[in-house]
């Protein structure tokens, strides 16, 4: 696991701050960031902090605030900032049915809205829908106070945009994508370039993880011997959670970080599939 590491390229300069784009990623169990030099199309900095013992966002908020204020690479006046907020509390609404006045009601059909949560929404170009999700007001406030121009996105946005672009012309009719976070994972199905399913599953054990994936294959009528499984997120290739998966699913690939960017030397120490979607966040509209 890539825990509490940070590096910055020697080319980093505060004088060039206007050319930099800061991408952030937050889950209940961790906070990460990377910096893109837009002029050179090169990622020049990265940092990751894990909080395995934290189980509430109200406890996480001051921890993240402290990092943002004390880290000299983050406590700068960035003009281009995007945050990927990863949460299993979301729902999709087709653009043709989207009504801002009924968003909270529709969301409430699937999830309980906390007293300290705010509803946010992003338009997902790839499947012409809105993803509606809940974010704790304290978390939102921490980032907006630090970066007034920040744009917040649900984790489905970069994932969907990337896989639809990458596999639009794929010869494989069906593709499955699993993006792993420390306490839940996203499960998406692509069929001939169209998104057919996007769901999330919370897990607490190896058995949970394996069951939800294999059962989803079964419920969707997906053949483990024919349909490829593409994995991304913070899970090692030799992780015990994947042992049983590998016995049943014939083809397992890893959704690596995009090749159309250049990367500073430090990125060589990070498994290529760990932070694919935080890196792709830059391209979200």
101, part of any domain: no
What CATH code is carried by the domain that includes residue 267?
3.30.420.250
pLDDT band of residue 282 (cuts 50, 70, 90) is very high
* Shared-domain flag, residues 166 and 238: yes
Whether residue 277 sits in one domain with residue 138 = yes
Mean pLDDT of the chain: 94
Total-model pTM: 0.95
Whether 109 maps to a domain, the answer reads no
Mean pLDDT for 218-226 is 95
In this predicted structure, the answer to whether residue 121 has a pLDDT above a threshold of 90 is: yes
Read off the pLDDT of each residue in 57-80 and give the average, rounded to a whole number. Answer: 96
Q: Is 79 left (phi over 0), alpha (psi -120 to 50) or beta?
A: alpha
Q: Where is mean pLDDT largest: 29-38, 108-117, 190-199?
A: 29-38
CA torsion sign, 121 to 124 to 125 to 128? negative
Bridge partners, 46 (sequence order): 7, 34
Whether 143 and 231 share a structural domain: no
Phi and psi, residue 132, nearest 5°: -110, 130
Residue 124 lies in a domain: no
219 class by beta-carbon count within 10 Å (0-12 exposed, 13-18 middle, 19+ buried) = exposed
Q: Assess whether pLDDT exceeds 70 at residue 172.
A: no
- 100 within some domain: no
Across residues 164-178, what is the average pLDDT? 81
Query: Does the pLDDT value for residue 154 go beyond 80?
Result: yes
Averaged over 196-220, what is the pLDDT?
95
What are 17-67's pLDDT values in tens digits? 999 999 999 999 999 999 999 999 999 999 999 998 999 999 999 999 999
Instruction: Specify whether 83 is located in the same domain as 197.
Output: no
Kindly report the CATH number assigned to the domain that includes residue 229: 3.30.420.260
Q: In terms of residue numbers, what domain contains 228?
A: 162-254
**pLDDT confidence of residue 132:** 97
**170 vs 243 pLDDT, higher one:** 243
Give me the pLDDT at residue 171, please: 63
Does the pLDDT of residue 248 top 90, yes or no? yes
Q: Is residue 104 part of a domain?
A: no
Find all residues with CB under 8 Å of 253, minimum gap 6, and list them.
228, 229, 230, 231
- Confidence check: pLDDT of 1 > 60: no
* Total domains present in the chain: 2
| DSSP state letters, the chain | ---SEEEE-TT--GGGGGGEEEEEEEETTEEEEEEEETTTTEEEEEEEEE-TT---HHHHHHHHHHHHHH-TTTSS--SSEEEEE--S-EEEEEGGG--TTTHHHHHHTTSPPPTTEEEEEEEEGGGTEEEEEEEEHHHHHHHHHH-TT-EEEETHHHHHHHHHHHSTT-S-SEEEEEEE-SSEEEEEEEETTEEEEEEEEE-SSHHHHHHHHHHHHHHTT--TTTS-EEEEES--TT-GGGHHHHHH-S-EEE-PPPTTSEE-GGGGGS-TTTTHHHHHGGG--
Q: Are residues 145 and 273 in the same domain?
A: yes
pLDDT value for 90: 97
In angstroms, the Cα distances linking 126 to 97, 189, 194, 199 are 16, 13, 8, 16
Q: Which residue has the higher pLDDT, 168 or 203?
A: 203
- How much of the chain exceeds pLDDT 90, in percent? 87
Euclidean distance between the first and the last CA atom of the chain, given in angstroms as a whole number: 30
User: For 150-157, what is the mean pLDDT?
Assistant: 98
């Amino acid at each position: 696991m890539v825990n509490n590491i940070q590096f910055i390229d020697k080319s980093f300069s505060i004088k060039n701050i206007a050319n930099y784009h800061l991408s952030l990623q937050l889950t209940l169990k961790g906070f990460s960031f990377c910096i893109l030099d837009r002029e050179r199309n090169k990622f020049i900095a990265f940092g990751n902090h894990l909080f395995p013992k934290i189980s509430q966002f109200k406890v996480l908020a001051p921890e993240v605030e402290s990092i943002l204020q004390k880290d000299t690479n983050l406590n700068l006046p960035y003009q281009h900032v995007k945050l990927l907020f990863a949460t299993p509390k979301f729902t999709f609404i087709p653009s043709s049915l989207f009504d801002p006045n009924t968003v909270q009601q529709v969301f409430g059909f699937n999830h309980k809205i906390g007293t300290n949560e705010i509803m946010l929404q992003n338009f997902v170009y790839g499947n012409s829908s809105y993803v509606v999700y809940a974010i704790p007001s304290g978390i939102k406030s921490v980032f907006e106070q630090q970066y007034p121009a920040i744009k917040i996105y649900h984790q489905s946005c970069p994932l969907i945009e990337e896989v639809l672009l990458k596999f639009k012309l794929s010869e494989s009719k069906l593709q499955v994508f699993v993006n792993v976070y420390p306490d839940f994972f996203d499960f998406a199905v692509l069929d001939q370039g169209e998104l057919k399913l996007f769901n999330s599953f919370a897990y607490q054990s190896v058995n949970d993880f394996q069951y939800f994936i294999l059962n989803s294959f079964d419920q969707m009528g997906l053949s483990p011997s024919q349909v490829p499984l593409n994995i991304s997120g913070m899970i090692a290739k030799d992780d015990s959670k994947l042992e049983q998966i590998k016995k049943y699913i014939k083809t397992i690939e890893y959704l690596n970080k995009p090749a159309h960017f250049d990367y500073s030397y430090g990125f060589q120490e990070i498994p290529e599939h760990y932070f694919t979607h935080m890196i792709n966040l830059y391209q979200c509209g």
